[in-house]
Amino acid sequence: MWNWLNALRTRNKQTVAARWLDPNENSWGLTVLDCSQNAGSMMSTTSDVEIAKTYARLRDSKGEEFRNAVFNPTLSIACNLTYTIAKYIPDGPVFKSQVMEEKWDIYTYNDHLYFCRSWGGQLFYRVALQCEPPALRVLLVEASHKISEKSAIRDVDFLIKSHVLSAKALHPLPQELGRDTQKLALFSFSAYGRMGLYGTFEETIGTPYYGDRSVLERR
């Protein structure tokens, strides 16, 4: 399921510091993997000059190429995720990676969010929105890679909470990696970078998220 990460995995040999938190040790009341020390200390590097050049070039992109781009998703999932926002989302970049430890660029055009990997610009998710402040609703999730419907929705849910709303939230952990903290922490950093602070095997949809102001409020 997570084979798409192989080509984008962070190259480093740093010691991974992550630990399991019992339900009574965290705000969510679930069994949670604390990856915060790992997320805050690891550095992303690449030996591929072309990847570095592509990342640098994409820092100036406003994502306008996605507005009318042909998109052939591997799956489309109708859903109803709801979030609280302060105002309508204007077209353009919503979140732009500033350093290579931030793994996503997010844009909005024509009532859609576009989730792209920051290193290579690959479009992973297109999400149909209904934006009527104070409510932001996700009506449809489309994915470009092989992933289960449940995983795709959880992924998008976390990316909205963490990158669009600038909140501390739980990200999903893949069951197939087992409970090895090093493997899971490396997955979290490769998938979410410095935003991958806390993960869980349990259901993440509907769990609380904590933060001050969303990216949209600061625009």
pLDDT in tens, 144-170: 999 999 999 999 999 999 999 999 999
- Answer whether residue 188 shows pLDDT above 80: yes
* Six token digits for residue 197: 């602070």
Contact in structure between 27 and 198 (CB atoms under 8 Å)? no
| CA atoms of 129 and 139, how far apart (whole Å) | 6
Q: Where are the domains of the chain?
A: 3-218
Give the length of the chain.
Answer: 219
Residue 26 CA, chain-centre distance (Å), reads 21
Helix intervals (H) in the chain = 36-41, 49-58, 149-159, 181-192
How many other C-beta atoms can be found within 10 angstroms of the C-beta atom of residue 109?
17
pLDDT reading at 3 higher than 60? no
- Distance, in Å, from the CA atom of 154 to the CA atom of 159, rounded to the nearest integer, reads 9
Q: What is the pLDDT of residue 97?
A: 97
The pLDDT-based confidence of 15 (bands split at 50, 70, 90) is low
Percent of the chain with pLDDT over 90: 79
pTM over 0.75: yes
* Banded pLDDT at 197 (limits 50, 70, 90): very high
Average pLDDT for residues 31-47, to the nearest whole number? 90
Distance, in Å, from the CA atom of 198 to the CA atom of 25, rounded to the nearest integer, reads 12
Measure Cα distances from 142 to 67, 92, 179 in Å: 15, 19, 29
The pLDDT tens digits of the residues spanning 107-143 come to: 999 999 999 999 999 999 999 999 999 999 999 999 9
